[in-house]
């Protein structure tokens, strides 16, 4: 089942006051975390949260998603997952760095946002060989996908096929692998929203057949 690009019209209007307040606090905490982080998490780089929020808002305004369940693959500080909750998505985030999981839980709790964060790998059981092959082929020092973690989907009680929207901000070396995992394991009609290394967003839908194809 291929992935089909979906055009979204992003409204550049002002942000709600509660979102502004949340982002102000989140950015302060992210900056502090980056300053204080040990070397093994120095590679953490946040996306443009305003752009991602507006993209999620556009998805809801245009009713592009089949439902309201959203999972953030590699949820980092949990800002995007929390923003999605503010748009009334039913949200969870999966993150391999425990320090980031703890920080994201505190942030969401402080703003009374119902987001479930779990520690582990978002790579589903069965995709380990794909990750290992991609890792071996990559020359990038920033290749973060790991599979030697507890099965987070068991903890969530849901699998990759249970989400209507998946958000990810992959390193360049991981973009194709993220797409492959989503194409293989996500539900038909699910949406993949990615923030790219070129400071933009891309939205794709998993479809059974590209319209017009033979």
Position 134 pLDDT exceeds 60: no
Backbone angles phi, psi at 96, to 5 degrees: -85, -25
pTM listed for this prediction: 0.87
41-50 long-range contacts, Cβ below 8 Å, gap at least 24? 41/97, 41/99, 41/100, 43/142, 43/144, 44/76, 44/77, 44/97, 44/100, 45/169, 46/76, 46/77, 46/79, 47/80, 47/169, 47/195, 48/195, 48/199, 49/23, 49/79, 49/80, 49/83, 50/15, 50/23
Q: Which helix (H) or strand (E) holds 69?
A: strand 69-73
Instruction: Average the pLDDT over 96-120 and give the result.
Output: 96
pLDDT category at 7 given cuts 50, 70, 90 is very high
**What is the predicted pLDDT for the residue at 35?**
84
Alpha carbon distance 195, 49 (integer Å)? 10
Mean pLDDT of the chain: 86
> Of residues 138 and 111, which shows the higher confidence score?
111
Instruction: Average the pLDDT over 183-210 and give the result.
Output: 88
Q: Can you give the length of the chain in residues?
A: 214
**What is the predicted pLDDT for the residue at 176?**
84
> Of residues 69 and 44, which shows the higher confidence score?
69
144-194 per-position pLDDT tens digit: 455 454 578 989 999 999 999 999 998 777 888 899 899 999 999 999 999
**What is the predicted pLDDT for the residue at 64?**
97
pLDDT category at 142 given cuts 50, 70, 90 is very low
34-66 per-position pLDDT tens digit: 888 766 555 566 789 999 999 999 999 999 999
pLDDT category at 75 given cuts 50, 70, 90 is very high
**What is the predicted pLDDT for the residue at 172?**
74
Position 198 pLDDT exceeds 70: no
Position 25 pLDDT exceeds 80: yes
Position 8 pLDDT exceeds 70: yes
What is the token pair recorded at 208?
């059974």
pLDDT category at 143 given cuts 50, 70, 90 is very low
**What is the predicted pLDDT for the residue at 125?**
80
């Amino acid at each position: 089942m291929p992935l089909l690009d979906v055009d979204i019209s992003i409204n550049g209007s002002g942000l709600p006051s509660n979102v502004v307040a949340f982002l102000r606090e989140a950015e302060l905490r992210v900056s502090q975390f980056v300053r204080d982080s040990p070397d093994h998490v120095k590679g953490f780089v946040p996306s443009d949260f305003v752009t991602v929020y507006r993209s999620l808002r556009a998805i809801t305004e245009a009713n592009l998603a089949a439902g309201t369940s959203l999972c953030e693959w590699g949820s980092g500080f949990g800002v995007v997952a929390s923003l999605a909750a503010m748009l009334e998505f039913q949200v969870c985030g999966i993150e391999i760095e425990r320090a980031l999981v703890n920080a994201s839980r505190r942030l969401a709790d402080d703003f009374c946002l119902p987001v479930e964060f779990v520690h582990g790998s978002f790579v589903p059981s069965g995709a380990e060989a794909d990750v290992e092959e991609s890792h071996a082929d990559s020359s990038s020092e920033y290749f973060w996908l790991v599979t030697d973690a507890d099965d987070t989907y068991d903890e969530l009680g849901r699998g990759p096929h249970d989400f209507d929207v998946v958000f990810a901000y992959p390193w360049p070396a991981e973009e194709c692998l993220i797409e492959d995992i989503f194409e293989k394991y996500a539900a038909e009609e699910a949406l993949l929203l990615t923030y790219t290394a070129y400071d933009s967003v891309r939205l794709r839908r998993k479809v059974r057949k590209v319209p017009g194809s033979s």
